Amino acid sequence: MSSETITVGQPAPRFHAAAYGKAASVSLDDLRGKVVVLYFYPKDDTPGCTTEGQEFTALYPEFQAAGAEILGVSRDTLASHEKFSCKFNFPFPLLADTDAALCNAFDVLKKKNNYGKVSIGVERSTFVIDREGKIAYIGRKVKAAGHAAAILQIVKQLP
């Protein structure tokens, strides 16, 4: 886990990651000039993660019209992302962060307590990165339902 906290206004951590979707890999540098919605979710094909992905999918044309690209990130493999994306027809890339480099860079790995068993997992979080590559919004511990619509409103307010 990162000891540094990401803050609004600072440059977003640069990244390059394997992806399932439009391209075999995605880097932040490739998306310069677009707003980037980088959402971290715990696990492919689970109820909350499915809801979140479906809501981003339903609003995807509006995100595109606003000049934004959506990227979903979890620690699942590309094969898992392919099954998940194909099952629900996600139009945006899913990044495979199997080494947790992105999760660490954005400080989304947190201790979780599930029925007394403590583990490290992905905290559902979303970062909006502006056209210049700076953090414009940070949402942590987000609830999946309704989240995409709230993020769309934030994106629409960016210059």
Active-site positions read 49
40 touches 129 (CB < 8 A): no
Distances (CA, A) of 42 to 10, 22, 72, 132: 25, 22, 10, 28
d(CA 3, CA 21): 31
d(CA 141, CA 119): 16
What does the DSSP 8-state code read for residue 13? P
